[in-house]
């Protein structure tokens, strides 16, 4: 390979319009969202009460406000992944502190 060809290869200039860049980013986001999340597990009322350190009364009272609740065959079940996201996103405060 000649010396001038080597210089041309090492100085490639890429020009991308904003529309092309937006399209590239959008495709990357869509692809990332399609990635299968880790396997989810359904938890019972008792298991969620242990994790949140609440009573079953509290859980039943707040069930409509919780985004990770599922009804399966008339029974309440709770998404483990949803519970984890809820814990991470909720700011807990200690009363009297």
Q: What is the DSSP string of 49-84?
A: HHHHT--HHHHHHTGGG-TTEEEETTEEEEEHHHHH
Q: Which residue has tokens 């590239």?
A: 24
Tokens of 76: 């309440």
Among candidates 33, 24, 27, 63, which has minimal Cα distance to 45?
A: 63
Would you say residue 12 has pLDDT above 70? no
pTM of the model: 0.53
User: In this predicted model, what pLDDT tens digit does every residue of 45-68 receive, in sequence order?
Assistant: 999 999 999 999 999 999 999 989
Q: Percentage of the chain surpassing pLDDT 90? A: 32
Would you say residue 36 has pLDDT above 60? no
The domains of the chain are located at 3-34, 42-89
């Amino acid at each position: 390979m000649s010396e001038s060809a080597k210089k041309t290869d090492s100085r490639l200039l890429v020009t991308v319009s904003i529309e092309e860049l937006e399209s590239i980013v959008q495709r990357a986001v869509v692809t990332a969202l399609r990635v299968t999340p880790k396997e989810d597990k359904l938890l019972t009322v008792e298991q969620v009460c242990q994790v949140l350190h609440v009573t079953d009364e509290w859980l039943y009272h707040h069930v409509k406000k919780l985004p990770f609740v599922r009804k399966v065959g008339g029974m309440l079940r709770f998404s483990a992944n949803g519970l984890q996201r809820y814990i991470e996103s909720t700011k807990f405060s200690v009363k009297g502190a």
